[in-house]
């Protein structure tokens, strides 16, 4: 990754990009690649510089690393303090119904955890990469469970970012990330 920034294959600004700036840069034709949050597909198909000019592929696999992404989710839950848990359950049933999930993919490019949704002809038409998305969802893994997850995550992204911005070598960044993670893990 550091080599990509040094060679100019990726702009130096990527070290500051969050989800939306990355999408806007891609849609403006200023980036060759973009990690695709599924909702970006529909938006990029409307942008003048990217409409019909890109494809979706899964993350590359690296030797020993396997093929898996980490997915988030809507995490629909019912609070124990809810005054209407029955109504909340009906809402969750509505939001997670296959028909509703299909509509969300077609209209908003939202991913669904339901395999059957990817077989819907309307989904296949709206999302030509639906087979790849289904595969990505099937291969996805949950984020690691840890009471110090946020500290571990911070140790990774802060140190990787320092390497990407050129303030430390990749080796120094990895060593510091390991040390920061070990410190976090010792706190519980």
Mind listing the pLDDT tens digit for each residue in 107-134? 888 888 898 999 999 999 988 889 988 8
Residue at token pair 């209407």: 84
For residues 24-35, average pLDDT: 87
Q: What are phi and psi of 148, to 5 degrees?
A: -120, 30
DSSP state of 119: G
Work out the average pLDDT over 70-74. 67
The Cα–Cα gap between 167 and 150 comes to 23
Q: Are 38 and 110 in contact (CB under 8 A)?
A: yes
Q: Residue 156: what pLDDT? A: 95
pLDDT, average across residues 17-41? 86
Q: Comparing 20 with 33, which gets the higher pLDDT?
A: 20
Do the Cβ atoms of 46 and 37 come closer than 8 Å? no
pLDDT band at 73 (very low <50, low <70, confident <90, very high): low
Render 43-84 in DSSP notation, one character per residue: HHTTSTTTTTS----PPPPBTTTBS--B---------TT-S-
Length of the chain (residues): 188
Degrees, nearest 5: CA angle 181-182-184: 65
DSSP-derived secondary structure letter, 141: B
Full-model pTM: 0.69
- Which range has the worst mean pLDDT, 26-35, 86-95, 148-157, 160-169? 26-35
What tens digit of pLDDT does each residue of 147-180 get? 999 999 999 999 999 999 999 999 999 999 999 9
Q: Which of 1-5, 15-19, 61-65, 100-104 has the highest mean pLDDT?
A: 100-104
Higher-confidence residue of 3 and 57: namely 3
């Amino acid at each position: 990754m550091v080599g990509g920034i040094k060679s100019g294959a990726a702009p130096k600004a990527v070290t500051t990009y969050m989800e939306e700036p990355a999408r806007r840069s891609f849609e403006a034709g200023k980036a060759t690649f973009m990690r695709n949050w599924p909702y970006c597909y529909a938006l990029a198909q409307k942008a003048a510089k990217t409409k019909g000019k890109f494809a979706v592929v899964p993350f590359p696999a690296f030797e020993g690393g396997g093929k898996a992404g980490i997915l988030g989710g809507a995490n629909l839950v019912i609070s124990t303090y809810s005054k209407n848990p029955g109504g909340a359950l009906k809402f969750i049933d509505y939001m997670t119904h296959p028909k509703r999930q299909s509509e969300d993919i077609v209209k908003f490019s939202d991913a669904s955890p339901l395999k059957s949704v990817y077989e819907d002809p309307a989904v296949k038409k709206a999302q030509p990469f639906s087979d790849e998305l289904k595969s990505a969802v099937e291969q996805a893994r949950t984020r690691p469970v840890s009471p110090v997850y946020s500290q571990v995550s911070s140790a990774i992204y802060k140190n990787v970012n320092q390497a990407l911005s050129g303030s430390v070598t990749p080796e120094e960044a990895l060593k510091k990330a390991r040390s920061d993670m070990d410190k976090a893990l010792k706190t519980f």
